[in-house]
Amino acid sequence: MDSFIHFDGVSKSFGTMKVVDNLDFHVGRGEFVSLLGPSGSGKTTLLMMLAGFEAPTSGALLVDGTRVENLPSYKRNMGVVFQNYALFPHMTIAENVAFPLKMRGVGRARRDARVAKALDLVRLGHLKDRKPSQLSGGQQQRIALSRALVYEPKVVLMDEPLSALDKQLREHMQLEIRELHRKLGLTVIFVTHDQGEALTMSDRVAVLNLGKIEQLDTPSGLYDRPRTRFVAEFIGETN
Ligand code: ADP
C-alpha cells in the first residue's frame, strides 16, 4: 500500500498548551484509519489540520506529496463529515448535497447528475425534495455523508459521525461506511472515542493520549499486543 497521507513531526499548540506533540505517521492510499482516544487527546485538532482548517505550529502535513497548507480549499479534494451533520435547514436535501459543487462553480447539469449519484450511494434519492427536519437522525447523517462524497473526494475525514445515533443505527451505519470505503476506494480518517467502533471499522487504529500516538496498529495488534498500559486499559474497556 503506497503512503498517501504523511504527518512529519507535526505539533500544534494553542497558546502555551501543546495539544498535538510531534507526530510522525503515514496512512496508505485506500486505508481506513481511526484516531481513537479520550476526550481532549487531540483527535479533532489532527483532523482540522488535515482538512486545512488549522495550520500546524511546526512540522509538515502532506497529502499525496503536497503540503496541505499550500493547497487552496477547492483543490484539497477531501470530504468532511461531522457529528452534528451541519445540514442547512432552509435548503432541500438535493440543495444541501449540491452545495459543495455550487461553491466550486460546477454548472447546473453536472451538479444535478453528481447529486443524483451521491444520493444513490446512500440510497436516499427519493428524499431529495424534503427539508432536513423531515428526515430521521440516521437519514440526516447519510445525507451529510452523501454531501461529503459529492465531489468524488479521494480522502474522507469523519469526526465522530455516528455518536449521535442510537446503537442499532450506529452499527448499521458502520457497515454502510465500510462498504462505501471499499466500493469507492476512499482513504478514510475516522475520529472516535469508541474503542469498539474503531476496532470493528478500521484497517489500523492510532491510539492517542495527550497529543501523542501511544500505538498505531491493526485492531488485532492492539487487542493482542498492547504496547503500553494506557493502550491495554483503553482497549480493555470494550470488554
Ligand atoms: P479530542 O478531539 O480528542 O477531544 P481536541 O483536538 O478537540 O481533542 O482538543 C485537544 C485539546 O486542545 C483540548 O484540551 C482542547 O480544549 C484544546 N483545543 C482544541 N481546539 C482549541 C482552540 N481552537 N483553542 C484553544 N484550545 C483548543
Which pLDDT score is estimated for 11? 97
User: Which of 12, 18, 19 has the most ligand 1 atoms within 8 A of CB, as the residue to mutate?
Assistant: 19
Nearest residue by C-alpha to atom 19 in ligand 1: 45
Instruction: pLDDT band for 72, please (50, 70, 90 cuts).
Output: confident
Asked whether 209 lines ligand 1 (CB < 6 A), one says no
Whole-angstrom distance, CA of residue 121 vs CA of residue 109: 19
25 membership: H or E segment, kind and range:
strand 17-28
pLDDT in tens, 114-143: 999 999 999 999 999 999 999 998 899 999
Distance from Cα 163 to the centre of ligand 1, integer Å? 18
Phi and psi angles of residue 180, each rounded to the nearest 5 degrees, phi first: -65, -40
Task: Examine the pLDDT at 239 and tell me if it is beyond 90.
Answer: no
Per-residue pLDDT, averaged over 172-201, amounts to 94
Which pLDDT score is estimated for 1? 59
Task: Examine the pLDDT at 169 and tell me if it is beyond 90.
Answer: no
The amino acid at residue 172 is: H
Instruction: Report how far apart, in Å, the C-alpha atoms of 171 and of each of 56, 136, 138, 162, 178 are.
Output: 34, 16, 11, 9, 11
Nearest residue by C-alpha to atom 6 in ligand 1: 42
Per-residue pLDDT, averaged over 167-175, amounts to 90
Distance from Cα 37 to the centre of ligand 1, integer Å? 13
Whole-angstrom distance, CA of residue 88 vs CA of residue 93: 9
pLDDT in tens, 74-99: 677 889 998 776 899 999 999 999 99
Assign 146 to helix, strand or coil. helix
Which pLDDT score is estimated for 69? 83
pLDDT in tens, 213-233: 999 999 999 999 999 999 999
Asked whether 40 lines ligand 1 (CB < 6 A), one says yes
Does the ipTM exceed 0.85? yes
pLDDT in tens, 135-168: 998 899 999 999 999 989 999 999 999 988 888 8
Nearest residue by C-alpha to atom 14 in ligand 1: 40
Helices 93-103 and 108-121: crossing angle in degrees, nearest 10, is: 130
What rounded mean pLDDT belongs to the chain? 92
Whole-angstrom distance, CA of residue 138 vs CA of residue 168: 10
Whole-angstrom distance, CA of residue 22 vs CA of residue 59: 7
Terminal Cα-to-Cα distance of the chain (whole angstroms): 32
